[in-house]
């Protein structure tokens, strides 16, 4: 059966830990394997980090790589997503890397490509899941030796519309983190029955959430997913819910700050914090290439490893 990566739940037991270990090996200088085949990258939503890092990962593994630009594809002529996907799968790439605004699109693509052997990798679907972001964040922290059971991890900002938060909490729970927290304005907090946030403590006082935190993950307001929500102006939001320089100063000395990017400076995070000593933002970006290399090795390596070639 073809293994896909559509969300954290799609990872078999032990796979997350193995991917994180392999990403760290690659970050420390291990050579990527040599694989055969091609990857098609289909990004129906904009992306810098995820799109380029998946492409670089494919190239480092010796895989062919092709970007499918939806704005120049026949989807602009009325072709359905299903027909586009079936058409591309008929060309027999090894993998489709997919970002789409619709939650669940990667799972539908898995159904449409069943029996073709094409691997589907989710690069972010709606507000539902962004599994490789969660894995690369965890690899960034594991590279620095974080102790998962004693970690105190806070995500702040727009939780409601965040696929990053949903995947992050799913993964942190798997890795054994007990103290998970979230803080944000009421309008941007998830519904109380959203199972993705089970076991995550809610705070309506950001400073209380941040007290003794070991990891603070800042989340951008996902304006592209918000229709009718009255939000305060940027300066008011920053003062109430941003990781300001003063708040960062009060964090424990060894606390690390994450942000998946893109950053909206001066809104969810102060520029001085984003560029400061606690920030791991660019380490996350670098780890993204290694983690996605590890993902391709795992999903495509079994039959195509040509290490001895
Ligand atoms: N973190 C993230 O998904 O960034 P991009 O939208 O630039 O890929």
Q: Tell me: the pLDDT tens digits for 173-186? A: 999 999 999 999 99
Dihedrals phi, psi of 268, to nearest 5 degrees = -85, -15
Question: Ligand 1 within 6 A of 122 CB?
Answer: no
Question: Ligand 1 within 6 A of 45 CB?
Answer: no
Give the helix/strand (H/E) hosting 121: strand 119-125
How many whole angstroms separate alpha carbon 250 and alpha carbon 207? 9
- Residue 262 burial (CB count, 10 A): 11
User: Using 50, 70 and 90 to split pLDDT, how confident is the model at 223?
Assistant: confident
Q: What percent of the chain has pLDDT over 70?
A: 97
Please give the pLDDT value at position 232: 86
* 136-155 tens-digit pLDDT: 999 999 999 999 999 999 99
Both structure tokens of 57:
């990962």
Average pLDDT over residues 274-283: 98
Which residue minimizes the CA distance to atom 3 of ligand 1?
50
Residue 29 has pLDDT above 50, yes or no: yes
Question: Ligand 1 within 6 A of 124 CB?
Answer: yes
CA of 50 to the centre of ligand 1 (A): 5
Q: What is this structure's pTM? A: 0.96
Q: What percent of the chain has pLDDT over 90?
A: 93
Q: Which atom of ligand 1 is nearest to the CA of 130?
A: 3
Specify the length of the chain in residues.
309
CA of 107 to the centre of ligand 1 (A): 20
Pick the range with the lowest mean pLDDT from 95-104, 222-231, 262-271, 299-308: 299-308
Pick the range with the lowest mean pLDDT from 33-47, 226-240, 282-296: 226-240
Closest to 129 in 3D by CA, of 167, 97, 96, 161: 167
In 3-state terms, the chain is what percent helix, strand and coil (to 5)?
Answer: 45, 15, 40
Please give the pLDDT value at position 225: 82
How many whole angstroms separate alpha carbon 216 and alpha carbon 141? 11
How many whole angstroms separate alpha carbon 276 and alpha carbon 11? 34
User: Using 50, 70 and 90 to split pLDDT, how confident is the model at 25?
Assistant: very high
Question: Ligand 1 within 6 A of 50 CB?
Answer: yes
SS3 109: helix
- Measure the CA angle with vertex 129, ends 227 and 161; round to 5°: 25
How many whole angstroms separate alpha carbon 166 and alpha carbon 281? 19
């Amino acid at each position: 059966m073809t293994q896909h990566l559509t969300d954290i739940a799609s990872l078999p037991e032990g796979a997350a830990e193995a991917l994180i270990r392999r990403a760290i090996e690659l970050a420390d200088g291990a050579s990527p394997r040599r694989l055969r085949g091609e990857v098609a990258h289909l990004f129906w939503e904009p992306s810098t980090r995820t799109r380029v890092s998946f492409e670089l990962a494919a190239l480092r593994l010796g895989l062919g790589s092709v970007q499918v630009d939806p704005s120049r594809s026949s989807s602009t002529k009325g072709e359905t997503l299903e027909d586009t996907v079936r058409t591309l799968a008929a060309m027999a790439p090894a993998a489709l890397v997919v970002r789409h605004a619709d939650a669940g699109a990667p799972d539908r693509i898995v159904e449409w490509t069943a029996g073709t052997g094409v691997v589907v990798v989710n690069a972010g679907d709606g507000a539902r899941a962004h599994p490789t972001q969660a894995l690369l964040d965890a690899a960034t922290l594991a590279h620095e030796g974080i102790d998962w059971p004693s970690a105190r991890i806070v995500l702040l900002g727009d939780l409601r519309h965040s696929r990053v938060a949903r995947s992050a909490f799913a993964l942190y729970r798997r890795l054994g983190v007990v103290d998970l927290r979230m803080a944000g304005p009421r309008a941007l907090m998830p519904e109380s029955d959203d199972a993705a946030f089970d076991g995550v403590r809610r705070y309506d006082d950001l400073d209380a959430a941040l007290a003794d935190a070991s990891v603070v993950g800042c989340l951008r307001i996902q304006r592209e997913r918000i229709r009718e929500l009255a939000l305060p102006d940027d300066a008011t939001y920053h003062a109430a819910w941003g990781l300001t320089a003063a708040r960062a100063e009060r964090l424990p000395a060894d606390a690390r700050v994450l942000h998946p990017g893109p950053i909206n400076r001066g809104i969810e995070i102060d520029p001085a914090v984003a560029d400061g000593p606690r920030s791991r933002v660019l380490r996350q970006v670098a780890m993204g290439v290694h983690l996605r290399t590890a993902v391709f090795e795992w999903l495509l390596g079994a039959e195509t490893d040509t290490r001895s070639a």
